[in-house]
Amino acid sequence: MQTLSVTTKSQFHCVNITSQIQKVLKDSGVKNGLITLFVPHTTAAITINEGADPSVIHDIISELDKIIPLSNNYQHLEGNSAAHIKSSLVGCSETILIENGTLVLGTWQAIFFCEFDGPRNRKVLLKIIEE
Amino acid sequence: MQTLSVTTKSQFHCVNITSQIQKVLKDSGVKNGLITLFVPHTTAAITINEGADPSVIHDIISELDKIIPLSNNYQHLEGNSAAHIKSSLVGCSETILIENGTLVLGTWQAIFFCEFDGPRNRKVLLKIIEE
Amino acid sequence: MQTLSVTTKSQFHCVNITSQIQKVLKDSGVKNGLITLFVPHTTAAITINEGADPSVIHDIISELDKIIPLSNNYQHLEGNSAAHIKSSLVGCSETILIENGTLVLGTWQAIFFCEFDGPRNRKVLLKIIEE
């Protein structure tokens, strides 16, 4: 198991971690298999979406904030229920295929750590399963 | 493949199944790898979120019910379209890392079976892949 | 790694790809393990939900369109931000268990490719990991 560190800089912040994951894969020497990413936090998530135009991630963050408002008669007293709900909707893990030593991603895809209750120092765990 | 039984007690009910999964893992003797959980139902889901304060799960259930109301001009005649929609948004599977014979979960994380159309007797399927 | 082709015929279109995946599995000869499906697109997704009554998929598509409207002051200039947001909420991968040479799905479950910005020619990538 490998651990990546991610520093988020605002309350809502999606950080592109694709190159960090590619480096771990390259260092592993694995040519074919799967890589599973796991976020060990309950107010964050992981997603794969467009990495080319930053306005896509902006729109995802903004629309999630409209759908799941920060205040909405929540019972949890820490004030971050919206972040917990977003975490369950976006999800805390992803599995990506490995072929010929590279992550198999579509032309426009990048892997993002999604912070919904930052800024914080966060972790992403990952494990590579060789085919 | 292993099968866990889960009994849900109300229409919306998230059941913490972490200890059941930990027991299956311990009995397997597997030290390192992945465990994949799969819910074979279309009106339920699986999520990982905070297990310490039950108000977090309460807020998740309550907010999902606000976002996806029970009645909203749905076509499906069984009256449980909201449950189907929540199932696709939360998702019916999770993959968790195994390290040193234990599930790798964050401090606050627990694994929940999410019932959206209960009460019912349900199942969770799981398979452990050794590294 | 295998690649399936999926042709979508309208802006929103969920295509049942269960039989295509079952065929790949049968041809592989693998009896036990996992199959990971991955959509290499950022305006599409994959989900598992009811395949018997097409009104369920209709309701999922229709409700997602209500929750995430096509226009909502998005910044991304291509006009398909709603599709990107739906992709991150529904998710671009699924992992399914294989037992005795068959996909382990519940009675009502089918696997759907979800198009949110069609019509287009799309791909689903998959890899089988033998237990």
What does the DSSP assignment read for B58-94? HHHHHHHHHHS-S-SS---TTS-HHHHHHHHHH-SEE
By the 8 A CB rule, do C113 and C58 touch?
no
Per-residue pLDDT tens for B26-41?
Answer: 999 999 999 999 999 9
The domain that holds C26 is classified in CATH as 2.60.120.460
Interface of B with A (CB under 8 A): 32-34, 47-50, 53, 55-56, 58-60, 62-64, 66-67, 89-91, 94-97, 99, 104-109, 129, 131
- Give dist(CA A130, CA A27) in Å, integer: 14
Q: Tell me what pLDDT residue A41 has.
A: 98
Q: Tell me what pLDDT residue B25 has.
A: 98
Residue type, A12: F
Q: Tell me what pLDDT residue B117 has.
A: 98
What would the mean pLDDT of A71-99 be, rounded to a whole number?
A: 97
Share of chain C above pLDDT 90, in %: 99
Beta-bridged to residue B121, according to DSSP, are B7
Average pLDDT score over chain B: 97
Q: Tell me what pLDDT residue C2 has.
A: 97
State how far the alpha carbon of B83 is from the alpha carbons of A92, B12, B69, C116, in Å. Answer: 21, 9, 9, 21
Q: Tell me what pLDDT residue A1 has.
A: 95
Q: Tell me what pLDDT residue C97 has.
A: 98
Could you tell me which of B51, B40, B15 has the C-alpha nearest to residue B127? B40
Q: Does the beta-carbon distance from B55 to A74 stay under 8 Å?
A: yes
Q: Tell me what pLDDT residue B102 has.
A: 97
Q: Tell me what pLDDT residue B125 has.
A: 98
Q: Tell me what pLDDT residue C119 has.
A: 98
Contacts of B85 in chain C (CB under 8 A): 59-60, 63-64
Model-level pTM? 0.98
Across the interface, which of A50, A91, A106 has its CB nearest the CB of C40?
A: A106
Going by pLDDT thresholds of 50, 70 and 90, the confidence category of residue A22 is: very high
Contacts of A56 in chain C (CB under 8 A): 42, 76, 81, 84
The tokens describing B55, both together, are 């108000």
Q: Tell me what pLDDT residue B2 has.
A: 97
Per-residue pLDDT tens for B69-109?
Answer: 999 999 999 999 999 999 999 999 999 999 999 999 999 99
Parent domain of A60 = 2-130
What would the mean pLDDT of C55-60 be, rounded to a whole number?
A: 98
What would the mean pLDDT of C6-28 be, rounded to a whole number?
A: 98
Q: Tell me what pLDDT residue B73 has.
A: 96
Domain count, chain B: 1
Per-residue pLDDT tens for C77-124?
Answer: 999 999 999 999 999 999 999 999 999 999 999 999 999 999 999 999
- Give dist(CA B52, CA C20) in Å, integer: 42
Across the interface, which of A49, A66, A97 has its CB nearest the CB of C42?
A: A49
Q: Tell me what pLDDT residue B87 has.
A: 98
Query: Has the ipTM of the complex gone over 0.95?
Result: yes
Q: Tell me what pLDDT residue C100 has.
A: 97
Going by pLDDT thresholds of 50, 70 and 90, the confidence category of residue B7 is: very high
What would the mean pLDDT of C15-21 be, rounded to a whole number?
A: 98
3-state secondary structure of B102: strand
Q: Which residues of C41-74 are buried (b: 16+ CB within 10 A; e: fewer)?
A: bbbbbbbbbbbeeebbbbbbbbbbeebbeeeeeb
Residues 6 or more apart in contact with residue B22 via CB below 8 angstroms: B102, B103
Could you tell me which of B96, C35, B105, B86 has the C-alpha nearest to residue A85? B86
Q: Tell me what pLDDT residue B32 has.
A: 97
What would the mean pLDDT of C23-33 be, rounded to a whole number?
A: 97
Q: Tell me what pLDDT residue B50 has.
A: 98
In terms of Cβ atoms closer than 10 Å to its own Cβ (0-12, 13-18, 19+), residue B120 is middle
Q: Tell me what pLDDT residue A21 has.
A: 98
**What number of other Cβ atoms are within 10 A of residue A70's Cβ?**
15
What would the mean pLDDT of A96-105 be, rounded to a whole number?
A: 98
Across the interface, which of B55, B97, B109 has its CB nearest the CB of A1?
A: B97
